[in-house]
């Protein structure tokens, strides 16, 4: 509830949790953030399969619950590079210059009345119950540019070239295993935090990790030019976080982090103490 109060209207919260407790936490999160602000339950492949003797299937995943504060969170669409297999499967054709491409239909569901997406293109009307994806003038232009492929029975399709794509859409299963020789028992994969921070924040955003452990989030936030705050009840965690932050070597894009450490005594909680690491050049 406190994190919801602190979160900006454009902010998001990612709650990374074990599979044994995650479903109960989802119900609490729905109640606090609203089921309508639930965006994903991300399955994170955390390790290689292990051969424990336990009666049950091996556990190689945990989950990340992703909620936004409102319906318009910061969203910088992430893309993943295509694998060689994706390239041949998704872009099976090759043009005369050796460039890989695929084709997609030029029409979409729904009829438009009197619009310029329902008119004839090269004497062909869109199929019944459908309209052209764009106006006829643009279709003419694409055809002139060689971007339309005509099938043997005279159907036009748009060519989509592999080298013009930024990559593929990121899905909700992430294989991002934790470091094999961690600095801290629960240290997370830095790529995981980089993805989350890049996608759901901007360069001037504030990133808060209130269970920061070894400071993986803080380091990613620093390297990505965000402001950051880390909190942990463990003095050891803050020591490891400080070490990780101090290991950043500065260059023209990333200054060496300067930060302050604050020890807070908290009354009436089971924790009693929290250590806060806070980037020094943040606003008050």
Q: Is residue 67 within 8 Å of residue 33, measured between CB atoms?
A: yes
Are the CB atoms for 228 and 248 separated by under 8 Å? Answer: no
- 237 lines the binding site for ligand SAM (CB under 6 A): yes
| Segment contacting ligand SAM by CB under 6 A, of 20-28, 31-39, 63-71, 226-234 | 226-234
CA distance 182 to 248: 17
DSSP state of 271: S
Residue 216 found at the interface with ligand SAM (CB under 6 A):
yes
Of 156, 164, 150, 170, nearest to 101 by C-alpha is: 164
Q: Which residue in the set 234, 239, 248, 276 belongs to the binding site for ligand SAM (CB under 6 A)?
A: 234
Residue 21: CB minimum distance to ligand SAM, A: 12
H helix runs in 67-176, sequence order: 84-90, 136-144
**Distance (Å, rounded) from C-alpha 155 to C-alpha 121?**
11
Among 165, 163, 190, CA closest to 179: 190
> Can you tell me the distance from the alpha carbon of 69 to that of 39, in angstroms, rounded to the nearest whole number?
11
Smaller CB separation from ligand SAM, 117 or 217: 217
Q: What number of chain residues touch ligand SAM (CB under 6 A)?
A: 16
Is residue 155 a contact residue for ligand SAM (CB under 6 A)? no
Asked if 214 is part of the footprint of ligand SAM (rule: CB under 6 A), the reply reads: yes
Using CB under 6 A, pick the residue from 101, 184, 227, 259 that binds ligand SAM.
184
Instruction: Tokens for 131, please give them.
Output: 């309209």
Among 231, 242, 245, 277, binds ligand SAM (CB under 6 A): 231
Instruction: Establish if 188 lies at the interface with ligand SAM (CB under 6 A).
Output: yes
Stretch that binds ligand SAM, among 17-25, 142-150, 160-168, 210-218 (CB under 6 A): 210-218
Question: Which residues are within 8 A (CB) of 48 and not within 5 positions of it... i.e. 6 or more apart?
Answer: 60, 177
Among 187, 199, 206, 278, binds ligand SAM (CB under 6 A): 187
What are the residues binding ligand SAM (CB under 6 A)?
184, 186-188, 211-214, 216, 231-234, 237, 271, 274
């Amino acid at each position: 509830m406190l994190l919801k109060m602190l979160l900006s209207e454009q902010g998001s919260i990612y709650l990374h949790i074990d599979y044994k407790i995650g479903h109960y936490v989802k119900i609490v999160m729905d109640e606090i953030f609203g089921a309508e602000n639930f965006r994903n339950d991300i399955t994170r492949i955390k390790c290689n399969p292990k051969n424990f003797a336990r009666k049950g299937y091996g556990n190689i995943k945990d989950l990340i619950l992703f909620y936004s504060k409102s319906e318009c969170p910061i969203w910088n669409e992430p893309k993943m590079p295509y694998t060689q297999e994706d390239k041949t499967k998704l872009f099976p054709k090759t043009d005369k210059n050796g460039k890989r491409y695929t084709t997609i239909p030029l029409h979409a569901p729904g009829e438009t009345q009197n619009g310029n997406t329902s008119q004839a293109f090269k004497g062909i009307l869109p199929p019944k119950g459908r309209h052209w994806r764009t106006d006829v003038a643009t279709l003419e232009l694409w055809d002139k540019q060689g971007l339309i492929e005509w099938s043997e029975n005279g159907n036009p399709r748009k060519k989509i070239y592999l080298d013009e794509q930024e990559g593929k859409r990121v899905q909700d299963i992430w294989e991002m295993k934790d470091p094999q020789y961690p600095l801290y028992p629960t240290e997370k994969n830095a790529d995981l935090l980089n993805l989350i921070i890049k996608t759901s924040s901007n360069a001037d955003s504030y990133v808060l990790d209130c269970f920061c452990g070894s400071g993986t989030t803080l380091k990613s936030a620093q390297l990505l030019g965000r402001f950051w705050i880390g909190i942990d009840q463990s003095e050891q965690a803050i020591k490891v976080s400080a070490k990780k932050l101090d290991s950043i070597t500065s260059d023209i894009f990333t200054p060496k982090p300067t930060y302050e450490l604050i020890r807070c005594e908290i009354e009436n909680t089971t924790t009693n103490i929290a250590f806060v690491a806070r980037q020094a050049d943040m606003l008050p």
